[in-house]
Chains A and B, each alone.
Chain A
Amino acid sequence: GAVVSQHPSWVICKSGTSVKIECRSLDFQATTMFWYRQFPKQSLMLMATSNEGSKATYEQGVEKDKFLINHASLTLSTLTVTSAHPEDSSFYICSAISSYNQPQHFGDGTRLSIL
């Protein structure tokens, strides 16, 4: 089945650090990738939609300068949390889709802890 790899799985770093999370589709070309955030006992909340070669579309309330998304190829999207602060600590998950009406396939998520 379709495999999405997300790296790193866990990051602990100091406040003010920028953190980059990678999302790769391993066995298919992802026309669209999505970035979600999940707080404890909450649902997955969409942060942004990214299409290869174009700017990401951010959901309302998500700071585009804070959460930089790059989708440079059909198999790789990156999310950079710039100048991270403790309130950015969360579980970040990416997903990828190959074509219309196909299910999204998710990475295993990245747990980000900012001290």
Chain B
Amino acid sequence: DQQVKQNSPSLSVQEGRISILNCDYTNSMFDYFLWYKKYPAEGPTFLISISSIKDKNEDGRFTVFLNKSAKHLSLHIVPSQPGDSAVYFCAASDSGNTPLVFGKGTRLSVIA
């Protein structure tokens, strides 16, 4: 039973446009959500997080939106750059330092 789902395995976006990566979760106990970016043969790099008391968190070109009632979060990257091409993992936990539950990832390709 997958508690964190990223239903799009891949996404292609043109450079300069907005990339929207989606993530759904089933466990209502989750209260801390993160997005990680991963290049091949490297570990995931933390991008941005959001706690359940907020519905939006912004950091530069990256914004994460959380819709608790729909158990849905999304990562917006604008403007998208070729260097953003990577696999993006959504992760969740039910408190700050418990193990994360990861989605399967979405491969983003930003085309110049």
The interface of chain A, by Cβ under 8 A from chain B, is: 4, 6, 9, 31-32, 34, 41-46, 49, 59, 93, 95, 97, 99-109, 111
Contact = CB atoms under 8 A, between A and B. Distances in A.
A80 B96 CA distance: 27
A107 B42 CA distance: 8
Q: Interface residues of B toward A: which range?
A: 20 to 34
Given A43-B104, A103-B49, A106-B36, A4 B43 contact: yes
Contacts, number: 61
Contacts of A9: 41
Chain B contact residues, majority secondary structure = loop
A46 to B, nearest CB: 5
A101 B96 contact: yes
B99 A105 contact: no
7 contacts: A32-B97, A44-B44, A99-B96, A101-B96, A101-B97, A105-B46, A111-B41
B32 interface: yes
A31 B97 CA distance: 9
